[in-house]
A and B are shown apart, each in its own frame.
Chain A
Amino acid sequence: MDQPVLEMKNICKGFNGIPVLKNVDFSVKKGEVHALMGGNGAGKSTLMKILTGVYTADSGEILIEGKPVSIKSYEDAQKNNISMIFQEFSLIPTLTVAQNIYLTREKKTSLGLLDDKDCEKKTEKLLEELGVDIKPTDIVQNLGVGYWQMTEIAKALSQEAKILIMDEPTSSLTKNETEVLFSFINKLTAKGYSIIYISHRMDEIFEICDRITILRDGRFITTETCSETDLDSVIQHIVGMEFDQAFEWKERSYATDVPPIFEVRNLSASKVQDINLKIQPGEIVGIAGLMGSGRTELLRILFGIDPIDTGEIYVNGEKKSIKNARNAIDAGIALIPEDRRMQGLVLEHSVKDNMILPILSKVKKGTFIDNKKSNDISNEFVQKLNIKTDHIFKQARLLSGGNQQKIVLAKWLANDPTVLMLDEPTIGVDIGAKTEIVEIIRAMAESGKAILVVSSELPELLALSDRVVVMHDGKIKKEMTRKEIKSEEELQYGIQGF
């Protein structure tokens, strides 16, 4: 009897001739929460973008309740009762809950004016049915993030959505908010709605989901029933057997008998607590953890972007007061940020201008910038890091992702930092550049610097780190030397908080 509400069959999709999805099958039953899992680049988001009409599949078909449908735009998806729950960006913060839910679909009075009362009444009914404790007249921006999501879901349901896609829905929620969301999801499935749940958090998936589909490298691996599988086999399927040779860990030696070059003592701030960390000269420390575990936040705090509540930071044994990024730079700390396009580069500026930005004071001759000196430095780094650009005056935005990332690296290497912090250093970078960047980081460590790397890509973290600390809920939960970690699976366990 079980006719799936949604079936995706033999979906193939490629970008620029590179296949991203290869004959993927995916089906969702009525009233189930179906987890979609896989590592970075496994093809989850591409598959969902095909389902919501952002991309069109090269081949394959989509069936809704057994009937083939064509989804070419988000509107098409909505017509087929599929709705994506966006994180928090698809609401108008300045309007009320009711106004948001019925935006562009308001009922009009006989005079053609908006009948807000009607929307409010309908919204009230909807919210009551869903058991959400907010008023239709509440202004969205005054509500907590958890309620934004529920407003979003209410909006989708008011548009007759039957299949809801949630992408990392708990990443910005607190524990309590997550529990509320889960009981909410249970209510929805009891009413016959289906939910596609994308997350990296295994504990949540085992708590809330009925079935799991796992993708790896754009291929369908398996669909399993949650109650009949376990963490081991899921991790096994996600990680696979292949091991990238380029990412093999090389045991490195560094001075252990000298005082640490970088030390953090009892650091607490709004999103991290009790952080203690020591890094030896030449040591690479990796930070593992889920999104929202405090990894990125810790780096931002150490770089003076977010304020410290309590705690001390020592560089070369000297206590440093870090109140802003300038203090951090002066203390010899550098941060390669997560989002190079937003935070790392001035895309419209040339390769050279980007590189010399943090070291302007060093390339000055009197009042003016010493052109020859800054050109020499830029050319030197272009060569050293093998940056593929015609010349140093080319705009940064015209370079590929990998080369852009190398500019960001050069930018900070030129400043010769003592402590180099990197947040997702190889995100969105092709495999060739990835290996090169890993080599650059290793070379930096060899020259006696302290390196702190945050990465979601475990193979990368394992290839680089001499020591891995695992963060969870803003705290350091576990610390392992690289030798103690036998496999990626073991690290996964640590990250999931087991």
Chain B
Amino acid sequence: MESKVSNIEKTTTPVFKGFEWRNYIVYFAFIGVFIYFSITLGDEGFLTTGNLLNIVRQTATISLMALAMTFVISTGEIDLSVGSIAALSSLVGALALQAGYGIVGGLIGGVGTGLVVGLINGLLVTKVAIPSFLVTLGTMGAIKGVAMWVTNTAPVPIVDTNFNFIFGSGDIGPIPVLLLWTVIFTVIAHVLLRKTAFGRQVLATGGNESAARFSGVNTMKIKLMVFLGTGLMAGIAGLLYAGRMNAGRFSFGEGDELSVIAAVILGGTSLFGGVGTIIGTIVGSLMIGTINNGLIIMGLDVSQQMIIKGIIIILAVAFGKKAMKR
């Protein structure tokens, strides 16, 4: 602070009050990307309803995991294991269906798997006090291993058409069920983060953990809950993979942690905790989906997509950091 302040200094950012353009950069970026592809790829069918709905279908799994990841990152933690959880959940769900437990059995299997891994992550972070980066780096590998081991890397086909309809390929009228899943969970997550005591305590924990504790927030419980959240949503994402692809498979969700974290950070949630936005996350996720889709139409392959995604993450964090320094 300056040593000579003529009057008591009130705010440090008097200019542009109420409009921090950095907070909204994802929306501009999304519009920019969309317009760019519309112009360059308009002739190749980018703008058709079919393709746009495809983008929604392809991003649903990322979106769901990113919603839960917003909570984790808002507490200042990270969860790298979501992709692996999705893979294992798709397999457990498919195996439950194969064994004749029906849709409910598949649902319990898939979601239960996610919750169990989430619980392990959460307990290791809160009770054993291992940094979440290391805990989930470990479970990311271990759970992927389990997923490869249960069926010896063989995929498990799903023949239950109802399951496939509900969790993936179905359309209700013109609307894909995956769009409905995305909308429902987005609304729930938004209300949870903005309007409930839980959400407030998540942001408080990430904003200043010791202050939150002194204010009576059970920060350990909050952290445990957010890891259960990513476990749950990754479990559901696994089922959505299974429903869309009509099978459970160990390779589902591979590299998703990259897209999920990118979506969250891009959306404006601070990697340092304390600031989170669900709407931003969804737009971030859609933007990554749109970029993926556009790159595919352009004829780029997976490896090139990965390069672009990696660069996006770094750029997003660099912007986030500048916003923090303010």
A residues at B contact (CB < 8 Å):
74-75, 86, 89-95, 99, 103-106, 108, 112-114, 133-134, 138, 142-147, 174, 176-177, 180, 270-271, 273, 473-474
B8 within 8 A of A: yes
Residues in A with CB closer than 8 Å to B11 are 138, 142-144
How many Å from the CB of B280 to the closest CB on chain A? 15
Scan B201-245; emit 1 where CB is below 8 A from any A CB, else 0: 101101110111011110000000000000000000000000000
Query: Taking each of A75, A99, A114, which has the highest tally of chain B beta carbons within 10 Å of its own beta carbon?
Result: A114
Residues in B with CB closer than 8 Å to A75 are 216
Q: Is the CB of A144 within 8 A of B9?
A: yes
User: Which of B1-57 touch A at CB < 8 Å?
Assistant: 1-3, 5-13
Q: How far is the CA of A112 from the CA of B200 in the complex (A)?
A: 13
Residues in A with CB closer than 8 Å to B199 are 114
**Main DSSP-derived SS at the A contact region:** loop
Residues in A with CB closer than 8 Å to B5 are 174, 176-177
B191 within 8 A of A: yes
With beta carbons under 8 angstroms apart, the residue of B1, B8, B12 that contacts A142 is B12
B304 within 8 A of A: no
Q: How far is the CA of A210 from the CA of B204 in the complex (A)?
A: 38
Q: Is the CB of B214 within 8 A of A74?
A: yes
Query: Taking each of A106, A112, A113, A271, which has the highest tally of chain B beta carbons within 10 Å of its own beta carbon?
Result: A113
Interface contacts beyond A104-B217, A177-B5, A273-B3: sample of 17 additional A-B pairs, CB < 8 Å, sorted by A = A90-B211, A92-B203, A92-B211, A93-B207, A94-B206, A95-B207, A103-B201, A106-B200, A108-B197, A133-B10, A142-B12, A143-B10, A144-B8, A144-B11, A144-B12, A174-B5, A473-B3
How many Å from the CB of A133 to the closest CB on chain B? 8
Q: Is the CB of A146 within 8 A of B8?
A: yes
B195 within 8 A of A: yes
Q: Is the CB of A90 within 8 A of B214?
A: yes
B274 within 8 A of A: yes
Q: Is the CB of A104 within 8 A of B275?
A: no
Q: Is the CB of A93 within 8 A of B208?
A: yes
B199 nearest CB neighbor, chain A only: A114
B161 within 8 A of A: no
B153 within 8 A of A: no
Scan B67-91; emit 1 where CB is below 8 A from any A CB, else 0: 0000000000000000000000000
A176 nearest CB neighbor, chain B only: B8
Given contacts A92-B208, A174-B1, A474-B3, contact A103 B10 (CB under 8 A): no
A103 nearest CB neighbor, chain B only: B215
B196 within 8 A of A: yes
A86 nearest CB neighbor, chain B only: B214
Residues in A with CB closer than 8 Å to B214 are 74, 86, 90
Q: How far is the CA of A142 from the CA of B15 in the complex (A)?
A: 12
Q: How far is the CA of A89 from the CA of B12 in the complex (A)?
A: 18
A-B contact pairs, 22 of them (CB 8 A): A89-B210, A90-B215, A92-B212, A93-B274, A95-B200, A95-B203, A103-B201, A103-B204, A103-B215, A104-B215, A105-B216, A114-B196, A133-B10, A134-B10, A142-B11, A144-B10, A144-B12, A174-B1, A174-B5, A176-B5, A177-B5, A270-B2
Given contacts A142-B12, A176-B8, A474-B3, contact A114 B195 (CB under 8 A): yes
Q: How far is the CA of A94 from the CA of B277 in the complex (A)?
A: 13
B residues at A contact (CB < 8 Å):
1-3, 5-13, 191, 195-197, 199-201, 203-204, 206-208, 210-212, 214-217, 270, 274-275
Q: How far is the CA of A74 from the CA of B8 in the complex (A)?
A: 32
How many Å from the CB of A340 to the closest CB on chain B? 22
Residues in A with CB closer than 8 Å to B195 are 113-114
Q: Is the CB of A89 within 8 A of B9?
A: no
Residues in B with CB closer than 8 Å to A90 are 208, 210-211, 214-215
Q: Is the CB of B196 within 8 A of A113?
A: yes
Residues in B with CB closer than 8 Å to A138 are 11
A101 nearest CB neighbor, chain B only: B215
Q: How far is the CA of A270 from the CA of B5 in the complex (A)?
A: 12
Q: How far is the CA of A92 from the CA of B207 in the complex (A)?
A: 5
Q: How far is the CA of A90 from the CA of B207 in the complex (A)?
A: 11
Residues in A with CB closer than 8 Å to B208 are 89-93
With beta carbons under 8 angstroms apart, the residue of A103, A114, A146, A270 that contacts B217 is A103
Residues in B with CB closer than 8 Å to A94 are 203, 206-207, 270, 274-275
With beta carbons under 8 angstroms apart, the residue of B3, B6, B206, B217 that contacts A271 is B3
With beta carbons under 8 angstroms apart, the residue of B2, B3, B197, B212 that contacts A106 is B197
Residues in B with CB closer than 8 Å to A108 are 197
A78 nearest CB neighbor, chain B only: B216
Residues in A with CB closer than 8 Å to B203 are 92, 94-95
Q: Is the CB of B204 within 8 A of A95?
A: yes
Q: Is the CB of B1 within 8 A of A104?
A: no
Q: Is the CB of A145 within 8 A of B1?
A: yes
How many Å from the CB of A395 to the closest CB on chain B? 20
Given contacts A92-B211, A114-B196, contact A104 B216 (CB under 8 A): yes
Residues in B with CB closer than 8 Å to A103 are 200-201, 204, 212, 215-217
Residues in A with CB closer than 8 Å to B12 are 142-144
How many Å from the CB of A473 to the closest CB on chain B? 8
Given contacts A144-B9, A174-B1, A270-B2, contact A92 B204 (CB under 8 A): yes
Residues in B with CB closer than 8 Å to A145 are 1
Q: How far is the CA of A94 from the CA of B206 in the complex (A)?
A: 9
Q: How far is the CA of A104 from the CA of B215 in the complex (A)?
A: 7
Q: How far is the CA of A145 from the CA of B9 in the complex (A)?
A: 8
Q: How far is the CA of A114 from the CA of B197 in the complex (A)?
A: 6
How many Å from the CB of B260 to the closest CB on chain A? 22
Residues in B with CB closer than 8 Å to A92 are 203-204, 207-208, 211-212, 215, 274
Query: Taking each of B7, B11, B210, which has the highest tally of chain A beta carbons within 10 Å of its own beta carbon?
Result: B11
Q: Is the CB of A147 within 8 A of B10?
A: yes
Q: Is the CB of A180 within 8 A of B8?
A: yes
A106 nearest CB neighbor, chain B only: B197
Q: Is the CB of A113 within 8 A of B191?
A: yes
Q: How far is the CA of A248 from the CA of B214 in the complex (A)?
A: 44
Given contacts A92-B211, A113-B196, A271-B3, contact A142 B13 (CB under 8 A): yes
Q: Which 4 A-B pairs have the closest CB atoms?
A: A94-B274, A92-B207, A144-B9, A94-B207
Q: How far is the CA of A257 from the CA of B200 in the complex (A)?
A: 68
How many Å from the CB of A88 to the closest CB on chain B? 9
Residues in A with CB closer than 8 Å to B217 are 103-104
